[in-house]
Amino acid sequence: MASPITLLLVRHGQSEWNAVGLMQGQTAHVPLTPLGHAQAEAAAAELAALRPGVMLSSDLLRAVQTAEHCARSTGLPFRTTPALREQGYGVLEGRPSRELWDVVDWSDPHWSAEGGESLTELHARVSAFLRHLCAEPPADVVALVTHGDTIRAVQAVAAGLGPDALPVITPHNGSVTRLEICE
């Protein structure tokens, strides 16, 4: 049995699309707002106090910009990976989120928009990433700079829950969530 790893899950700061209520998904080019940079700086200070040994980040711009703040505070370099991307929403990305409540079947883990990714696919991607992390732990404390739905999927996988049981609450922008895996 592998030794436990502490994950420090950092949600990116507020992005320009968060601020205006647009569905982001895997849209790569959305930057942080000034508030988002302040949130990322606060998360970075919290992260530095928790002393991670390794930092990995989603390769989407809003996460990379957050990881840059974290790298300055911790003194750690970071590596990006598409495994930590947000759930893809395909053709729905860039549309106002409030318009999607009648379009998206949030209760069906197998539903996905055209060109997007279902919760089942997100869960499988995150599960594979965590299995690899547990098989070859890069450190005892690992910081992951990522996205709201991805954090919820990590929490579900760590708790042994399926894609139909992701936590309902999405962590706030610029938050740090701690959990243990590989136990």
Distance from the Cα of residue 71 to its chain's centroid: 17
User: CB-based burial of residue 87 (10 Å sphere; 0-12 exposed, 13-18 middle, 19+ buried)?
Assistant: buried
Out of 12, 37, 69, 147, pick the active-site residue: 12
The verdict on whether 183 is a catalytic residue reads no
Strand partners, 55: 78, 143
Out of 69, 86, 93, 117, pick the active-site residue: 86
Beta strands in the chain (DSSP E): 5-11, 54-58, 78-81, 141-146, 176-181
Helical H segments across 51-175, by residue range = 61-74, 119-135, 148-158
The verdict on whether 86 is a catalytic residue reads yes
CA distance 62 to 72: 16
Active site residues: 12, 86
